[in-house]
């Protein structure tokens, strides 16, 4: 579904990604792990088109999307849950959700009902402003808003960052539900244990390069190969 071939990316003069290659199969969850500042978010931004790669290929369903604008990539079926629960704070929960909806042929209520089934708390808070939600609710809203675009694949940038352990568990269950529904997910995460539990494949990134890749089973048995890239 998604394949990165030798992707290089820069921020101005700084060379951040040094030939990243990875893939996400249809219906699978792939976790991208690594310490802060190793290029995980840059990888996500390169994929969604915020910071297009300077070299290399990003194939989404066989199309090289390198250089496509973000709105075009989104319309091809890719959604983003940005880092830091970036919701629209001055809009209500329902308005936030409706902004994600763009298929005018189907009534937006159909999509909303599905979303409210998955996140009942959002229905209760439908008329509240985004800024008045708790951190966990904001994260649910960010995920729900991305789902409103009816994506084939979703990029999640550290969805558990700064959340209380009980909320992490709740949101973790929702991500598992999404995985079971057949959605492809690329999950950027620092919580190794959760990522290893949910992902079908894990990559570890260090200084803008993929330094390890393996299934959860391999990941557990090959700790010596990746631990030094994760430990501080």
Partner 1 sequence: MHRMLTKYPIWGGLLLLALFILPLLLSPYGLSLLTQVLIFGLFAMSLDLLMGYTGLVSFNHATYFGVGAYTVAILAGLGLNNFWLSLVLGISIPVLLALLLGLLVLRSSGPYFLMITLAFGQMIFALAWRWRTITGGDDGLAGIPRPDLGLPMSMWKAQNFYYLVLVFFAFACLILWKFIHSRLGKAIVGVRESETRMQALGHNTWGLKYLSYIVAGGFAGLAGVFYVYFNGFISPQELNWTMSGQVILMVIIGGAGTLFGPVVGAGMIIILQNLISSHTERWPISMGIIFILCVMYLRDGVVGSALKLRKKGRGNL
How many residues are listed for the chain in this entry? 232
Pick 88 or 229: Cβ nearer partner 1 = 88
Question: Of the two residues 49 and 208, which places its CB atom closer to partner 1 in the complex?
Answer: 49
Q: Which is nearer to partner 1, 91 or 196 (CB)?
A: 91
Q: Which residue has 């030939």 as its token pair?
A: 19
Residue from 74, 111, 138, 139 touching partner 1 (CB under 8 A): that is: 74
Q: How many residues interact with partner 1 (rule CB under 8 A)?
A: 24
CB of 71 to partner 1, least distance (A): 5
134 sits near partner 1 (criterion: CB under 8 A): no
CB of 218 to partner 1, least distance (A): 32
b/e per residue 38-47 (b: at least 16 CB within 10 A)? bbbbbbbbbb
* H runs (alpha helix) in 125-215: 135-147, 165-180, 192-198
**Dihedral angle computed from the Cα positions of residues 121, 126, 130 and 132, in that order, rounded to the nearest 10 degrees:** -70
Pick the stretch among 34-42, 142-150, 204-212, 214-222 that binds partner 1 (CB under 8 A).
Answer: 142-150
**Residue 83: exposed, middle, or buried by beta-carbon count in 10 A (0-12, 13-18, 19+)?**
middle
Rounded-to-integer distance, Cα 137 and Cα 2, Å: 29
For position 229 contacting partner 1 by CB under 8 A, the verdict is no
Distance (Å, whole) CA 33 – CA 229? 9
Q: Residue from 23, 55, 102, 207 that binds partner 1 (CB under 8 A)?
A: 102
CB of 214 to partner 1, least distance (A): 30
Site string for partner 1, 45-64 (x = CB under 8 A): ---xxx--------------
State which of residues 88, 206, 216, 229 lies at the interface with partner 1 (CB under 8 A).
88
φ/ψ (deg, to 5) at 64: -75, 110
Decide if residue 80 touches partner 1 (CB under 8 A): yes
CA atoms within 13 A on the CB side of 173: 8
Task: Give contact residues for partner 1 (rule: CB under 8 A).
Answer: 48-50, 69-71, 74-75, 79-80, 82, 86, 88-91, 95, 98-100, 102, 145-146, 149
């Amino acid at each position: 579904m998604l394949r990165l071939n030798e992707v290089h990316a820069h921020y101005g003069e700084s060379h951040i990604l040094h030939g990243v290659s990875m893939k996400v199969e249809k219906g699978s969850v792939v976790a991208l792990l690594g310490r802060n500042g190793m290029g995980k978010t840059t990888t996500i931004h390169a994929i969604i088109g915020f910071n297009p790669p300077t070299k290399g290929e990003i194939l989404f369903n066989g199309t090289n999307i390198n250089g496509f604008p973000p709105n075009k990539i989104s319309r091809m079926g890719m959604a983003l849950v940005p880092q830091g629960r970036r919701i629209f704070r001055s809009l209500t929960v329902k308005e936030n959700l409706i902004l994600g909806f763009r298929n005018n042929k189907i009534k937006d209520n159909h999509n909303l009902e599905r979303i409210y089934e998955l996140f009942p708390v959002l229905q209760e808070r439908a008329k509240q402003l985004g800024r008045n939600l708790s951190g966990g609710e904001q994260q649910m809203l960010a995920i729900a808003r991305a789902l409103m675009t009816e994506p084939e694949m979703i990029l999640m940038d550290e969805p558990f960052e700064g959340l209380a352990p009980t909320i992490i568990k709740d949101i973790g269950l929702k991500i598992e539900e999404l995985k079971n529904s057949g959605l492809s997910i690329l999950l950027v995460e620092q919580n190794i244990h959760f990522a290893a539990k949910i992902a079908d494949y894990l990559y570890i990134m260090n200084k803008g390069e993929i330094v390890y890749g393996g299934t959860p089973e391999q990941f557990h048995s090959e700790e010596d190969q990746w631990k030094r890239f994760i430990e501080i």
